[in-house]
Amino acid sequence: MVTMAVQIAREPDGMPLRTKLTRVERRRKLRAFILVLPLLLFILIGFALPIGRMMFNAIHDDTLLTLMPRTTAALSAWDGKDLPDESTYAALAEDLKQAWAQRSMGAIAKRINYELPGLGSQITSSARKASTLSAGPYKPTLIEINPVWGRQDVWSLLKRGSLAYTPYYLLRSVDYQYGPSGQIVASPPETAIFQDMFLRTLAISIGVTALTLLLGFPVAYLLATLPAKYSNLLMIMVVLPFWTSLLVRTVAWVVLLQQHGVINEMLMALHMISQPAQLIFNRIGTMVAMTHIQLPFTLLPIYSVMKTIPPIHIRAARSLGAGPFYAFWKVYFPQTLPGIAAGCLLTFILCLGYYITPAMVGGPNDQMVGSFIAHYTNEELNWGMASALGAILLTATLLLYYVFNKLVGVDRIKMG
Amino acid sequence: MRHSINRTRLKHTDSHDLDHAREKLQSVKKEHGDLMVGGAAPAGEALGQGRALMSGTNSAFVKFSDVQKTYDGETLVVKNLNLDIARGEFLTMLGPSGSGKTTTLMMLAGFETPTNGSILLEARSIDAMPPHKRDIGMVFQSYALFPHMTVEENLAFPLKVRRLGRSEIEPRVKRALERVRLGGYCKRRPAQLSGGQQQRVALARALVFDPKLVLMDEPLGALDKQLREQMQIEIKHIHADLGVTVVYVTHDQAEALTMSDRIAVFNDGVIQQLAPPADLYERPQNAFVAQFIGENNQLHGKVVAMNGTTCKVEIAGAGNVQALAINVEAIGRPTVLSLRPERVQLNPTPGTLPNIFSAEVAEVIYLGDHVRTRVSVCGHNDFVIKLPNSEGLVQLEPGAAITVGWKTEDCRALDA
Ligand SMILES: Nc1ncnc2c1ncn2[C@@H]1O[C@H](COP(=O)(O)OP(=O)(O)OP(=O)(O)O)[C@@H](O)[C@H]1O
Ligand SMILES: [Mg+2]
């Protein structure tokens, strides 16, 4: 039996079939790999690496560790109860002198200023004075130079700096921070803006997604069922926005919706309103402009799924006794769900990242997480906060995707 | 007698499978003969019954009355259709592609509106009745099973629409599935079934709500030959068991001949002939039917004399032929003589037949149970003779000179 099997599996030239198969397979795989290699490299360099770097930046900050090496080393033994001892102050004086000489005091001050706003300039000035000190005792001298060096919260911040990793930026992104003695506390109301901002981002995204679905579904249905003569024209109208830049479209909405814009003028001329309505630089403007931009993204996947549903199904349902609405609801609509899921997921995820449109047509209370990320990267150069917000956004998106996959199943989605 | 008709009335008698299937069908017809109009009755009687149906309005279950249909306002796809269908009848619409069969079925189901005329169901006009109120089961060529529902849910659909309770739906679905021998498949989705199984589900779904009338539009078109024959038997069984009225559309004449009580041969939007299968084969009323059903020799000639039911036809350059005057206009008019290949006798004794002509063998094809011989006679060289492979079969060689002859009753003079 065994010998027979071996004989069958062996070709005349003595090489086992399995080996041959593996070799052919390997060659095939190699060819496939070479074909995707350029794109793979591009994605790796242009996408995966920056994202990995961003996630890393969200929790990594070694400013204090590298710029104040002696102090952070001395603080590792500190219990955090009373002020540190004289040797730690001596280390601090050394670090301040060195930082002053190396002009790295600015970075230290900025880092401390993140967590203890307003202390940056005092720290810098104290370093200038400390640079002239030559002998101890340093503890009273430094506290006299600037009382910040006698503050518990400053020292607990420096102690946290002895680790290269910090949850500070992530905590800050969800409105938490460190208290004076290093415990985690809720941010004070005047700086606690991020939870609201995330909820707002979520609400606007859900709202826009719902609006695009509501407006897009009937049009998709029309597109899928109309004779080609009409549906082609309709399709051109649907994808027309893709041919103009996002900026142009957004500006067009400003023109339409502003105080004395086309819409207001028209409504006034029709005597439907007496005062111009505030249609822009608020939530209305944001939602309208975003819905307009996102409509094709929701509509097209739904359309492509509808295209695959044979019209005969409705007829079958009718012949089985279902009225027109019942047939549509029980037979047609369920078959469009994969398209609806795909379109809505696409729009929702794209909405989460909006910032140009809310910045142009929204008010201060319509800014989404994207605007904050842009603000921290472009204006404050606070990479930690920008990365932390980005990381939370990314994680939330992946989480939503995961939940969606569990509930609906991504394999049932059809993008077209 | 009936058996011999069935043996000869098919074009493809060379298939053992088909013979087998047909015999089974005959037994089904015999068992349930009482349920059908003209099913097991001799051909002549059934024809008489059919005629009686056509004259009496009250007895017709479905009545097409002067129905016309045009899609584009220019060409009539269905021209002046008058058709009565009896309760419990199995009526088949047979015809070439584009002859208006589906259109007729769709008008009956309510998916197309007649341009003119009206359709009566149980003597009540259904012109204004929407499809879902007609209570007509329909099996579509493409099955039209709902892909998002299981087999069970597909079958429950028409029952749910009718607001039946769970306790009533379950046993009915179970019974319907068992009827098509798919008892164990209720939890599957249509995509997980083979073509034949899907077909049976579609059949079960069209029957589960006990419709009075079931329409089937080429339901077996997508199946392979063997499966098709199995399904033909199953459909016939179900028809006989339930006593439901069936209107069946097919391209396949063998299917039409084996299954139907009556066949309506469609061409060009007109019913060319409406008759039981045997009649259609034995007594075609015009050249189209003669040509379309079974194999047929055609001789073109001119009427030279008419004598009651018979006539004399002159074939140019060959002499005169005695034929039945079925569909001839007048003396001097052209006509087509129709003659079944199996009714032609080889080398008849001179004087025993009214029509004897000399011929030359052109080709001999051996087909097992019979030999197909192509000869050239009366200036036609595509004249075919079928000789049963029985004792005393003469060995013919191409080029041999022979004589062929036939009875007057076997030769029908039809419209040119
Ligand atoms: N919806 C429609 N619009 C316009 N013309 C149509 C439509 N449906 C059918 N026709 C035309 O009507 C004629 C008859 O069509 P029908 O579908 O009834 O033929 P059929 O006998 O069922 O043919 P087949 O055997 O190929 O299914 C054809 O010429 C077809 O082109
Ligand atoms: Mg058809």
C-beta of residue B292 within 8 angstroms of C-beta of residue B265: yes
Q: Any idea what DSSP says for residue B252?
A: -
Given a cut of 70, whether residue B9 has pLDDT beyond it is: no
C-beta of residue A170 within 8 angstroms of C-beta of residue A58: yes
Task: Tell me the shortest Cα–Cα distance from B92 to chain A, in angstroms.
Answer: 20
Minimal Cβ distance to A321: which of B144, B146, B162 = B162
Q: A411 burial class (0-12, 13-18, 19+ CB within 10 angstroms)?
A: exposed
Q: Which of A285, A48, A83, A64 is nearest to A180 (CA)?
A: A83
Q: Which of residues A380 and B23 earns the better pLDDT score?
A: A380
**Which residues in chain B are classed under CATH 2.40.50.100?**
296-415
Count of CB atoms situated within 10 Å of the CB of B55: 9
Residue A137: is the preceding peptide bond cis (ω within 30°)?
A: yes
Q: Find the B103 Cα to ligand 1 centroid distance in Å.
A: 6
Give the whole-angstrom CA distance, residue B44 versus residue B33: 16
Give the whole-angstrom CA distance, residue A238 versus residue A233: 9
pLDDT at B349: 87
Give the whole-angstrom CA distance, residue B415 versus residue B356: 23
C-beta of residue B232 within 8 angstroms of C-beta of residue B259: yes
What sign does the CA torsion over A377, A380, A386, A389 have?
negative
B153 touches chain A (CB under 8 A): no
Q: Any idea what DSSP says for residue A383?
A: H
What is the full DSSP assignment across B374-404? EEEETTEEEEEEEEE--TTPPP--TT-EEEE
What is the full DSSP assignment across B103-147? HHHHHHHTSS--SEEEEEETTEE-TTS-GGGS-EEEE-TT----T
Look at A313 and B146 and tell me if their CB atoms are within 8 Å.
yes
Give the whole-angstrom CA distance, residue A370 versus residue A392: 12
Q: Any idea what DSSP says for residue B332?
A: T
Q: Which of B81, B101, B247, B249 to mutate to test the pocket of ligand 1 (most atoms within 8 A of CB)?
A: B101
Minimum CA distance residue for ligand 1 atom 26:
B97
Give the whole-angstrom CA distance, residue B278 versus residue B135: 32
C-beta of residue A184 within 8 angstroms of C-beta of residue A196: no
For the record, the structure tokens of B189 come out as: 């989705």
pLDDT at A332: 96
What is the full DSSP assignment across B153-212? HHHHHHHHHTT--HHHHHHHHHHHHHHTT-GGGTTS-GGGS-HHHHHHHHHHHHHTT--S
Minimal Cβ distance to A312: which of B136, B142, B147 = B142
pLDDT at A410: 66
CA dihedral B207, B209, B210, B216 (to 10 degrees): -30
C-beta of residue A392 within 8 angstroms of C-beta of residue A175: no
Encoded amino acid at B176, one letter: A
Q: Which ligand is nearest to the CA of B250?
A: 1
Main-chain phi, psi angles of B330, to 5 degrees = -165, 170
Q: Are strands B401-406 and B90-94 parallel, antiparallel or unpaired?
A: unpaired
In which residue ranges of chain A is pLDDT below 70?
1-13, 410-416
Encoded amino acid at B106, one letter: M
Minimum CA distance residue for ligand 1 atom 5:
B71
Q: Which domains does chain A have, with CATH numbers?
A: 2-57 (no CATH), 63-186 (no CATH), 194-412 (1.10.3720.10)
> Where does the pLDDT of residue B381 fall: very low under 50, low under 70, confident under 90, or very high at 90 and above?
confident
Minimum CA distance residue for ligand 1 atom 8:
B103
**What digits encode the pLDDT tens for the residues A358-393?**
998 999 899 999 999 999 999 988 999 999 999 999
**What digits encode the pLDDT tens for the residues B196-227?**
899 899 999 999 999 989 999 998 887 888 88
Q: Would the CB of B77 count as within 6 Å of ligand 1? A: yes
Main-chain phi, psi angles of B66, to 5 degrees = 50, 45
Give the whole-angstrom CA distance, residue A76 versus residue A58: 23
Q: Which residues pair with B321 in a beta bridge?
A: B313
> Where does the pLDDT of residue B113 fall: very low under 50, low under 70, confident under 90, or very high at 90 and above?
very high
Q: Any idea what DSSP says for residue A332?
A: I
C-beta of residue B404 within 8 angstroms of C-beta of residue B297: no
Task: Tell me the shortest Cα–Cα distance from A313 to chain B, in angstroms.
Answer: 5
**What digits encode the pLDDT tens for the residues A262-286?**
999 999 999 888 888 888 899 999 9
pLDDT at B369: 87
**Residue position matching structure tokens 């280390």:** A91
Angle (CA) B37 B40 B42, round 5°: 95
Give the whole-angstrom CA distance, residue B223 versus residue B227: 6
Q: Which of B341, B344, B322, B325 is nearest to B333 (CA)?
A: B325
Contacts with B130 from chain A: Cβ below 8 Å: 318, 323-324
Main-chain phi, psi angles of B376, to 5 degrees = -110, 120
> Where does the pLDDT of residue B108 fall: very low under 50, low under 70, confident under 90, or very high at 90 and above?
very high
Q: Find the A401 Cα to ligand 2 centroid distance in Å.
A: 45
Encoded amino acid at A211, one letter: L
A26 touches chain B (CB under 8 A): no
Q: For A325, name the nearest residue in chain B, comparing CA atoms only.
A: B132
Chain centroid, CA A33 distance in Å: 31
Non-local CB neighbours of B45 within 8 Å, separated by 6+ positions: B38
pTM (predicted TM-score): 0.78
pLDDT at B11: 38
Give the whole-angstrom CA distance, residue A281 versus residue A272: 22
Look at A327 and B132 and tell me if their CB atoms are within 8 Å.
yes
What is the full DSSP assignment across B76-112? EEEEEEEEEE-TT-EEEEE--TTSSHHHHHHHHHTSS
Q: Would the CB of B103 count as within 6 Å of ligand 1? A: yes
Q: Find the B104 Cα to ligand 2 centroid distance in Å.
A: 9
Q: Find the A224 Cα to ligand 1 centroid distance in Å.
A: 22
CB contacts < 8 Å between A and B, how many?
A: 65
Minimum CA distance residue for ligand 1 atom 31:
B98
Looking at the CA of residue B269, tell me the nearest atom of ligand 1: 14
B205 touches chain A (CB under 8 A): yes
> Where does the pLDDT of residue B151 fall: very low under 50, low under 70, confident under 90, or very high at 90 and above?
very high
Give the whole-angstrom CA distance, residue B67 versus residue B82: 7
Minimal Cβ distance to A319: which of B137, B145, B162 = B137
For the record, the structure tokens of B262 come out as: 């009556």
What is the full DSSP assignment across A152-184? HHHHHHHHHTTSSB-SHHHHHHTTEEE-TTS-E
- The architecture in CATH of the region B296-415 reads Beta Barrel (2.40)
Given a cut of 80, whether residue B19 has pLDDT beyond it is: no
Q: For A323, name the nearest residue in chain B, comparing CA atoms only.
A: B132
Minimum CA distance residue for ligand 1 atom 16:
B100
E strands, B19-89, are 62-70, 76-85
C-beta of residue B249 within 8 angstroms of C-beta of residue B105: yes
Separation of first and last alpha carbons in chain A: 52
The CATH class of the B2-135+212-287 domain is alpha beta
- ipTM of the modeled complex: 0.76
pLDDT at A11: 56
Given a cut of 50, whether residue B16 has pLDDT beyond it is: no
For the record, the structure tokens of A7 come out as: 């004989």
Given a cut of 60, whether residue B48 has pLDDT beyond it is: no
Question: Which of residues 4 through 23 in chain B touch A, CB cutoff 8 A?
Answer: none
pLDDT at B26: 52
Element (H, E) at B197: helix B195-207
For the record, the structure tokens of B231 come out as: 């399904």
Element (H, E) at A222: helix A194-225
pLDDT at A415: 53
Minimal Cβ distance to B148: which of A310, A315, A335 = A335
Task: Tell me the shortest Cα–Cα distance from A315 to chain B, in angstroms.
Answer: 7
**What digits encode the pLDDT tens for the residues B152-166?**
999 999 999 999 999
Give the whole-angstrom CA distance, residue B180 versus residue B242: 13
The alpha carbons of chain A give a radius of gyration, in whole angstroms, of: 31
Contacts with A335 from chain B: Cβ below 8 Å: 146-148
Looking at the CA of residue B93, tell me the nearest atom of ligand 1: 21
**What digits encode the pLDDT tens for the residues B162-178?**
999 999 999 999 999 99
Any idea which of B17-21, B60-64, B386-390 has the lowest mean pLDDT?
Answer: B17-21
Minimal Cβ distance to B161: which of A310, A313, A321 = A321
pLDDT at A81: 84
Q: Which of B68, B70, B103 to mutate to test the pocket of ligand 1 (most atoms within 8 A of CB)?
A: B103
Main-chain phi, psi angles of B202, to 5 degrees = -60, -40
B225 touches chain A (CB under 8 A): no
Q: Would the CB of B250 count as within 6 Å of ligand 1? A: no
pLDDT at B58: 52
**What digits encode the pLDDT tens for the residues B280-301?**
999 999 999 999 998 899 999 9
A312 touches chain B (CB under 8 A): yes
Task: Tell me the shortest Cα–Cα distance from B227 to chain A, in angstroms.
Answer: 23
C-beta of residue B90 within 8 angstroms of C-beta of residue B255: no
Encoded amino acid at B410, one letter: D
Given a cut of 60, whether residue B29 has pLDDT beyond it is: no
A327 touches chain B (CB under 8 A): yes
Look at B146 and A315 and tell me if their CB atoms are within 8 Å.
no
Given a cut of 90, whether residue B380 has pLDDT beyond it is: no
Given a cut of 80, whether residue B127 has pLDDT beyond it is: yes
Q: Which of B144, B324, B246, B189 is nearest to A315 (CA)?
A: B144
Give the whole-angstrom CA distance, residue A200 versus residue A90: 49
Look at A320 and B146 and tell me if their CB atoms are within 8 Å.
no
